[in-house]
C-alpha cells in the first residue's frame, strides 16, 4: 500500500509540473503573438551628419538592427551631408533595402542638404521628406566630376570623347544605380539621372513638385503625422505605416562609431602610419627601448586597418613604404644623400597619390603632406650628419678607451676603486687618494687603472 501511494504521488507531482510547463509555453506564445500584432510605440531617429564614410556606415547598420530588435514602427534618417564615399553609401542603401522596419529619410533642419551620396540614400528610403529651405542633388560620381572640382559630365558622343573609359563606366554605373532606386520607390526617374549626369540640384519645393520626395515637413512630429497611412513596400511586402503618435527615440553614436570616425579620417590615418613607421625604426636603432616599438606597432596596425576601409591607391602606399625604406637604408648604409633624397621624393609623391578620391572630408590636406615631408627631410639630414661624424671620428675600443676618462674614487675591501662610465675598476696612484676624490685615468696596467687626482685648475 505504501509503494502504491508513492507511485500515485510521483505521477501527480510530475503531471502537475507538465501541466504548468504547458501553461507557461502557451502563455509565452500568446504574449509573443499579441506583441507581434500590437503596433510599436516608438520611432527610432538616426542622424547622418557630415561626410558619409565607414563610421556612418557602421552607425546606420547598427541603428537599423537595433530598431528592428525594438520593433520600432519606423526609422527616421535625419540627413545633412555634402556626400561621401561610394562604398559606404552602397552599404547603407543595402541596409535600408533589407530593413524590416520602414525607413523615412528626412533632410533637416532648414539649411541642410542631401548632396551626392545623400541623394542616393534619399531615393532608396521607403519615404522621402525634406524641411523647407533644404536642397538635394549633385550626385555625379567624384571620379567623373564634382561641383567643386571637375566639370560635370555631358551627354552624348561629345562626353564619350572627352572622358576616359573608366570615367564613362563610373558614370553609367551611377546612373543605372540611381535609376533602379527611383523605379523601386516610384519617384522621378528622369531627374534622378539628371542629378548624376549633370550634377543637377533641387530645392525642397522643387523636389516635391517633381515627385523626387513624398512631402515637406517642418519637424519630426510633422513627418510622423504626414507619413501615417502611407503604403510602402518593405522587403517586397506591402505595408501601411502607422506613425501617428509614435514616441521618438534617438540613437546616438557609441564609442565604437566615434573611434571609427577618428581613425578613418585620412589625416589621422596618415599620421598614425608615420608614427608606426618611425616608432618601429627607432626601436630597431635602439633595441630594448620597447616603448617606441610598442607604440609604433599599434599605430601601424590601426593605420593599416583604417586604410583598408578607405579607397586608397596601393601604388601611393607602396611609394611611401619605399621612401621610408630608402631613408632607413641611408641611416644604416650612408650613401651621402642619394638614397635619402630619393626616399623623400618617393615619400611625397606617394602621399599625394595615396587616396584615390576627391570626396569632401576624405582627402589628405597638402599642408599636412608638406609638414610631414619637411619633418622626414629634417630627420634624413640629421641621420646623414650623424653618419658623417661617425666616419670622421677615430675609432677607439678595448681597454685603451678608458684612458683620459674621469671618475670618482671609492674605497672597499682595503682597495681603491674608480667608477668609469658605469663600470667599476680597481685603481692605484702614485699620489695619495681619498674616497670621493675626482681622478683621471692615465694608463692601463692589466686590469688596474693608473690614475691621478684632478687638481682645481684641471676641474675648471
Give the Cα separation of 251 and 424 in Å (integer).
Answer: 67
Which active-site residues does the annotation give?
Answer: 116, 169
Closest CA to 171 of 201, 189, 198: 198
Contacts of 341-345 with C-beta under 8 Å, sequence gap 24+, read 341/380, 343/376, 343/380, 344/373, 344/376, 344/377, 344/380
Exposure string over 255-294, b if 16+ CB within 10 A, otherwise e: eebeebbebbbbeebbbbbbbbbbbbbebeeeeeeeebbe
Cα–Cα distances (Å) from 292 to 284, 288, 330, 371, 374, in that order, read 9, 10, 20, 21, 21
Burial category of 177 from C-beta neighbours within 10 Å (exposed 0-12, middle 13-18, buried 19 and up): buried
Q: Which residue(s) pair with 250 in the sheet?
A: 45
* Cα–Cα distance measured from residue 13 to residue 129, given in angstroms and rounded to the nearest whole number: 62
User: Is 250:45 a contact under the CB 8 Å cutoff?
Assistant: yes
Annotate 221-241 with b (16+ C-beta within 10 A) or e (fewer). eebbebbbebebebeeeeeeb
The DSSP letter of residue 312 is B
- Which run of H or of E encompasses 95? helix 86-97
CA distance 449 to 292: 38
Amino acid at each position: 500500500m505504501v509503494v502504491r501511494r508513492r507511485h500515485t504521488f510521483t505521477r501527480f507531482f510530475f503531471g502537475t509540473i507538465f501541466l504548468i510547463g504547458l501553461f507557461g509555453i502557451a502563455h509565452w506564445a500568446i504574449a509573443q503573438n499579441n506583441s507581434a500584432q500590437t503596433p510599436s510605440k516608438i520611432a527610432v531617429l538616426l542622424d547622418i551628419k557630415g561626410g558619409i564614410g565607414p563610421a556612418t556606415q557602421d552607425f546606420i547598420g547598427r541603428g537599423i538592427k537595433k530598431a528592428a530588435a525594438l520593433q520600432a514602427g519606423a526609422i527616421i534618417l535625419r540627413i545633412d551631408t555634402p556626400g561621401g564615399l561610394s562604398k559606404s553609401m552602397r552599404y547603407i542603401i543595402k541596409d535600408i533595402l533589407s530593413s524590416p522596419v520602414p525607413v523615412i529619410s528626412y533632410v533637416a533642419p532648414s539649411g541642410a542638404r542631401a548632396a551626392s551620396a545623400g541623394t542616393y540614400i534619399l531615393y532608396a528610403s521607403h519615404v522621402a521628406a525634406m524641411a523647407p529651405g533644404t536642397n538635394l542633388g549633385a550626385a555625379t560620381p567624384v571620379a567623373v566630376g564634382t561641383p567643386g572640382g571637375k566639370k560635370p559630365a555631358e551627354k552624348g558622343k561629345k562626353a564619350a570623347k572627352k572622358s576616359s573609359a573608366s570615367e564613362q563606366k563610373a558614370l553609367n554605373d551611377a546612373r543605372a544605380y540611381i535609376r533602379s532606386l527611383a523605379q523601386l520607390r516610384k519617384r522621378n526617374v528622369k531627374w534622378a539621372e539628371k542629378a548624376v549626369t549633370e550634377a543637377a540640384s533641387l530645392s525642397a519645393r522643387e523636389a516635391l513638385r517633381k515627385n523626387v520626395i513624398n512631402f515637406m515637413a517642418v519637424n519630426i512630429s510633422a513627418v510622423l503625422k504626414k507619413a501615417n497611412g502611407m503604403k510602402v513596400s518593405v522587403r517586397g511586402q506591402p505595408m501601411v505605416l502607422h506613425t501617428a503618435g509614435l514616441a521618438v527615440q534617438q540613437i546616438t553614436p557609441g564609442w565604437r562609431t566615434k573611434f571609427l570616425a577618428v581613425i578613418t579620417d585620412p589625416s589621422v590615418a596618415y599620421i598614425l602610419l608615420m608614427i608606426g613607421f618611425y616608432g618601429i625604426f627607432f626601436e630597431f636603432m635602439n633595441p630594448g627601448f620597447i616603448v617606441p616599438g610598442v607604440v609604433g606597432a599599434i599605430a601601424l596596425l590601426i593605420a593599416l586597418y583604417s586604410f583598408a576601409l578607405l579607397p586608397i591607391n596601393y601604388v601611393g602606399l607602396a611609394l611611401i613604404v619605399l621612401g621610408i625604406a630608402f631613408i632607413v637604408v641611408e641611416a644604416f648604409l650612408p650613401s651621402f644623400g642619394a638614397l635619402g633624397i630619393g626616399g623623400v621624393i618617393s615619400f611625397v609623391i606617394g602621399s599625394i597619390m595615396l587616396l584615390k578620391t576627391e570626396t569632401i572630408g576624405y582627402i589628405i590636406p597638402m599642408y599636412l603632406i608638406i609638414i610631414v615631408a619637411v619633418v622626414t627631410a629634417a630627420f634624413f639630414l640629421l641621420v646623414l650628419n650623424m653618419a658623417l661624424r661617425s666616419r670622421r671620428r677615430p675609432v677607439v675600443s678595448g681597454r685603451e678607451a678608458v684612458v683620459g676618462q674621469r671618475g670618482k674614487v671609492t674605497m672597499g675591501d682595503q682597495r681603491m676603486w674608480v667608477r668609469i662610465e658605469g663600470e667599476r675598476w680597481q685603481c692605484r696612484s702614485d699620489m695619495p687618494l681619498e674616497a670621493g676624490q675626482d681622478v683621471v685615468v692615465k694608463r692601463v696596467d692589466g686590469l688596474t687603472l693608473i690614475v691621478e687626482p684632478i687638481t682645481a685648475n684641471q676641474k675648471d
